Amino acid sequence: MEIESKFLVPEEKDFKELENLSRLASYTISEVKAQLNEDSFLDTENKDIMASGYYLRVRKSSGEKGKWITIKSLGGFKAGTHRREEYVSFLPEGLSVLECPDLRIRNMIFEFTSGLDLFPLITLKQKRMIRQLKLEEKPIADLYLDKVNLKSESRKKIYSEFEVELKSGGTAEDLETIRDFLLSHYNLVENPFSKFERAYMFRENLPEKTLLDLRERAVCTQLANHKNIYGRQAKILLLLDSGSTQAELSLLLKIPEPEIEALILRFEKERLSVFPFTGAKKKTLEKKLMFYFQSGKGSPENGWTEIGYEEWTPEALLKFYGISIEKAENITSGALALFDGFSAYHGLGKEERELLRLASLLQNIGSTARKEEESPISREIILTHPLKGLKLHELKILALIVELQEPSISEKNPCLALEEINIDLSPAFQNKSLTLAAFLQIANALETENQMYLPCGFRQLEGAVEIELMGANAEKTAKRAEKRSELWECLFSTDLRFIQAKEPFEAKKSEKKSEETREKAEKRAEKRKRKETQKYTVSPEDPMAFVAHRIFAYQFSQMLAHEKGTRKGEDIEDLHDMRVAVRRMRAAAIVFDEYIESEKVEPHIKGLKRTLGTLGGVRDLDVFREKAEDYLKTLPPGREHDLDPLFLILSEEREKAREEMLDYLDSEKYSRFKKDFSEFLDFPESWVLPTTTEKHDSLPHRVKDVLPSILYARLANISAYSEWIEGPYVSVERLHRLRIAAKGLRYTLEFFENVLGKEVESLIKDFKALQDHLGDFHDAAVAAEMLGTYIKTGAWKLTEIEKVSDKKQVPETSEGIEAYLAYREAELLTLLDTFPESWEKVRTGEFRKKIEGAIRSLYESP
């Protein structure tokens, strides 16, 4: 804090006397030290530092290598004393202002300017005589007697000034004593302005007494060319400051005089707080995330990669966080249509339109982290993942637009909203952000279930604008859009009314654009369909929920692709492939359970389970017959009809099972399951779990961070069976459960096959061998049980009533079937006897090394 008194010295006589002072009241004065200073005051083109309430000075003093950089607050004069914030640092020769060694000063410059270029605003020269004021050898104050030289184009001004700057040993009473002595002994005039303020007023030819101070003038100048309510108010204040009367302004701006008078009264009471951009922003860490630009890496003027940050494209960011680009593009088309349709109102240009486009695309980028705090998290992602081509101020505007979509933010109180958000931007940029945020709020309301009701016509009414919406049954959407128009109406004092388009779309000017939009959407859908039928890929950086969506989408497409063949029944492999796809989706639900909302996934898992059960009846009979036919090929000639009675009943049972399967595939329940699951896949952002806690702690959610623990946990589950299957007796059911566990680990390895090392192929092969061995064992056990039942009863499956009935229906010819039963029982024993060999392959240390080698690839550079 700088505390000083400043005086103008109008008379040369007084200047000479002050120059030769040796004592002041009871204080002694040291010897004089002369210094020549050249001060350059820097600011952005829009005077963002002044609008923040500060000024930046770079001083070159005679005899020093390097410069002094100082940031001071504007104003601060009261009752004869200046009290100002002051931050000073030495700037070594050869360094720019943005390379200032003082991190605080460097960060303040970035905070004020948002990385915009600095230009010389004013330059002044002064001859300074410096002395120290002491009381009993204790330093009380520094005395500065200055001859200041101002120049602005052809105008020049030289004036003299005397300053008394209090030091740490001095008190306010000391300063008051010195001040009273000077005013009573010399013809001095108290100076309420700093040298910068006086030089700026000289340059702008401003009187000392004006309605607006320098900060207020800078803020109003920034806003005056904006067309919303804050731009209009700023323009009124500037014109009043220049001498215009209320009557003149009313006539010029077509604003009622009472409205102008009300603004004047409010401004006199609240000053800059009449605008929502300049209030005292309380940074509450416990409530809001705060960000400070890391200026230590330098300025992003030449691009983010130049200072060591990775640059992102919007598409890469959406992909990285698993956000549906189709929905984002729908909302973007609506937001841009509003921007274009209201161009006469807002007067914004191409740069702002591009920022609105980016904000529309990225507003939901945080939905995978924590749904209830989507907007703040989206803002954090934008600020920490700089977009290629965007400057720092544009990045901050983008972040502000996005956070203003937070549902809890009151549209009618933008002042409160901006104070809570704490993004350091100039008033001009904050005002533009509000306008763009208003468009995006409305566009969000125009999107329903991935359908965009695109604005196609704008008609000016008295005190309102009527907007026509394309699309059938747009009434509900129109009401929702009107409700979300409150921020716009607050900014532009104009009501918005949305109605359904009455004329055919073909007659609209926007018809061509809408048709192009539809065509693009169709092409994207077709491209997505083709992509889904291709094998997906996974990267170590992918969020687990994103991978889950890819697997669900791919396997669902595989299920649908084989449905037609399953219905026809000409190739049993279609049924097999359809069933495998369903199984893999169920397996994926288990693997990714911690990263997706189980409540939203569960209804679809039930549908998958129902489908799997229906397909299983036919598939099990197909497998049974296939193995029976393989058995017949091993028999000598003349025995090829041994199993004809069995095949007859198998055909009857398969026909029943197939009829049940087709009934299900034709049912409303299955049709609804497919429709619901397809819509579920269209909106992955609605069912992924947050990747941060309520306190914003990060949760592990990327493949490289969590896959190792998943694989080791699944391997541990398999190893846990050793105590149950390595003894003298083994349970068939236990081996069946082991088979399911092995299949789960195999599917997990296959899901992530392309990011694991070359060892993964061998691992999958080993687990497939174990799974096949246990699968053959299970099939043999089931076949032996069912053949035994058939031989005893003549029935393929017994109902509960038949199980307790005394009636038996023994088949007349069963010798061939009894031989087949013996064959399957022998196969069962052989598989049981050779099982330890398959089991041992997944129990060795070498096998674990393969797992470790596969995992290591997650962390190796491609």
Distance CA 108, CA 474 (A): 49
Helix or strand run (H / E) with residue 661: helix 644-665
Whether the predicted pLDDT of 694 surpasses 50: yes
Q: Which residues lie below 8 Å from residue 705, measured CB to CB, with a gap of 6+?
A: none
**So what's the pLDDT on residue 295?**
61
SS3 content of the chain, % helix, strand, coil (to 5): 55, 15, 30
Q: Say whether 702-862 and 2-204 share the same fold.
A: no
Distance CA 354, CA 244 (A): 38
The stretch 428-439 carries a mean pLDDT of 93
Whether the predicted pLDDT of 638 surpasses 90: no
Strand partners, 164: 5, 143
Strand partners, 189: 8
Q: What SS3 class is residue 40? A: strand
Distance CA 508, CA 785 (A): 72
Q: Which residues lie below 8 Å from residue 692, measured CB to CB, with a gap of 6+?
A: 369, 370, 377, 698, 699
**So what's the pLDDT on residue 687?**
86
Locate tokens 């002042």: which residue? 415
Write the burial class of residue 535 (CB in 10 Å: 0-12 exposed, 13-18 middle, 19+ buried). Answer: exposed
For the chain, which residues make up each domain, given as ranges? 2-204, 214-274, 295-510, 533-686, 702-862
**So what's the pLDDT on residue 7?**
95
Distance CA 15, CA 147 (A): 9
Helices (H), 278-349: 314-320, 325-341, 343-346
CA atoms within 13 A on the CB side of 551: 28
Assign domain 295-510 to a CATH class.
mainly alpha
Per the document, the length of the chain is 862
Distance CA 571, CA 424 (A): 66
Whether the predicted pLDDT of 307 surpasses 80: no
pLDDT, greater one: 323 or 762: 762
Write the burial class of residue 670 (CB in 10 Å: 0-12 exposed, 13-18 middle, 19+ buried). Answer: middle
Distance CA 220, CA 428 (A): 9
Assign domain 2-204 to a CATH class.
mainly beta
Locate tokens 């008033």: which residue? 427
Maximum CA pair distance of the chain?
Answer: 140
448: left (phi over 0), alpha (psi -120 to 50) or beta: beta
- Whether 336 and 356 have beta carbons less than 8 Å apart is answered as yes
**So what's the pLDDT on residue 14?**
93
Reported in sequence order, the residue ranges of 446-515 that DSSP labels E, i.e. its strands, are 447-448, 451-452, 455-461, 464-469, 495-500
At 541, which amino acid appears?
Answer: E
**So what's the pLDDT on residue 288?**
42
- Average pLDDT of the chain, as a whole number: 85
Strand partners, 854: none
Chain segment 666-688, per-residue pLDDT in tens: 999 999 999 999 988 888 777 88
Chain segment 249-294, per-residue pLDDT in tens: 988 888 899 999 999 999 999 999 899 886 544 443 333 445 566 6
Q: What SS3 class is residue 397? A: helix
Measured N-to-C along each axis, helices 644-665 and 598-632 cross at an angle, to the nearest 10 degrees, of 160
Distance CA 856, CA 851 (A): 9
R_g of the chain computed on alpha carbons: 40
Apex CA 819: angle with CA 813 and CA 823, to 5°?
Answer: 150
Whether the predicted pLDDT of 829 surpasses 90: no
Whether the predicted pLDDT of 423 surpasses 60: yes
Q: Which two tokens stand for residue 411?
A: 């549209």
Distance CA 509, CA 497 (A): 20
**So what's the pLDDT on residue 518?**
54
Distance CA 84, CA 475 (A): 58
CA atoms within 13 A on the CB side of 238: 17
**So what's the pLDDT on residue 409?**
65
Chain segment 557-591, per-residue pLDDT in tens: 999 999 999 999 888 889 999 999 999 999 999 99
Chain segment 48-99, per-residue pLDDT in tens: 999 999 999 999 999 888 999 999 999 999 999 999 999 999 999 988 888 8
Whether the predicted pLDDT of 502 surpasses 90: no
Whether the predicted pLDDT of 227 surpasses 50: yes
Chain segment 118-167, per-residue pLDDT in tens: 999 999 999 999 999 999 889 999 999 999 999 888 889 999 999 999 99
Helices (H), 374-497: 374-384, 392-403, 414-421, 427-446, 475-483, 486-492
**So what's the pLDDT on residue 663?**
94
B/e letters for 386-408, b = 16+ CB within 10 Å, e = fewer, are bbeebbbbbbbbbbbbbbbbbee
Q: Which two tokens stand for residue 496?
A: 């918005």
- Torsion sign (Cα): 424, 428, 431, 437: negative
Distances in Å between the Cα of 58 and the Cα atoms of 50, 96, 146 are 15, 10, 17
Q: Which two tokens stand for residue 792?
A: 């005893």
Q: Which residues lie below 8 Å from residue 519, measured CB to CB, with a gap of 6+?
A: none
Locate tokens 């149950």: which residue? 724
- Whether 524 and 326 have beta carbons less than 8 Å apart is answered as yes
Distance CA 324, CA 384 (A): 21
Distance CA 419, CA 421 (A): 6
**So what's the pLDDT on residue 506?**
42
Q: Which two tokens stand for residue 537?
A: 């890929």
Q: Which residues lie below 8 Å from residue 702, measured CB to CB, with a gap of 6+?
A: 540, 541, 542, 543, 544
Distance CA 392, CA 384 (A): 11
Q: Among residues 342, 572, 323, 549, which one has the least CA distance to residue 438?
A: 342
807 CA to centre of own chain = 70
Apex CA 306: angle with CA 304 and CA 310, to 5°?
Answer: 45
Distance CA 392, CA 398 (A): 10
At 495, which amino acid appears?
Answer: D
**So what's the pLDDT on residue 381?**
84
Per mean pLDDT, which range of 12-26, 300-314, 714-728 is the poorest? 300-314
709 CA to centre of own chain = 27
Domain 533-686 grouped into CATH 1.40.20.10? yes
- Whether 146 and 138 have beta carbons less than 8 Å apart is answered as no
Whether the predicted pLDDT of 793 surpasses 60: yes
Helix or strand run (H / E) with residue 151: strand 138-152
Domain 702-862 grouped into CATH 1.40.20.10? yes
Q: At 188, is the pLDDT very low, low, confident or very high (cuts 50, 70, 90)? A: very high
Pairing of strands 447-448, 54-61: unpaired
Distance CA 657, CA 90 (A): 88
Chain segment 593-616, per-residue pLDDT in tens: 999 988 899 999 999 999 999 998
**So what's the pLDDT on residue 806?**
46
Whether the predicted pLDDT of 703 surpasses 60: yes
**So what's the pLDDT on residue 527?**
45
What distance, in Å, lies between the first and last C-alpha atoms of the chain? 54
The stretch 853-857 carries a mean pLDDT of 88
- Whether 119 and 91 have beta carbons less than 8 Å apart is answered as no
Q: What SS3 class is residue 369? A: coil
Distance CA 160, CA 10 (A): 7
Q: At 507, is the pLDDT very low, low, confident or very high (cuts 50, 70, 90)? A: very low
Q: At 531, is the pLDDT very low, low, confident or very high (cuts 50, 70, 90)? A: very low
Q: Which residues lie below 8 Å from residue 73, measured CB to CB, with a gap of 6+?
A: 53, 54, 84, 85, 86
Whether the predicted pLDDT of 503 surpasses 70: no
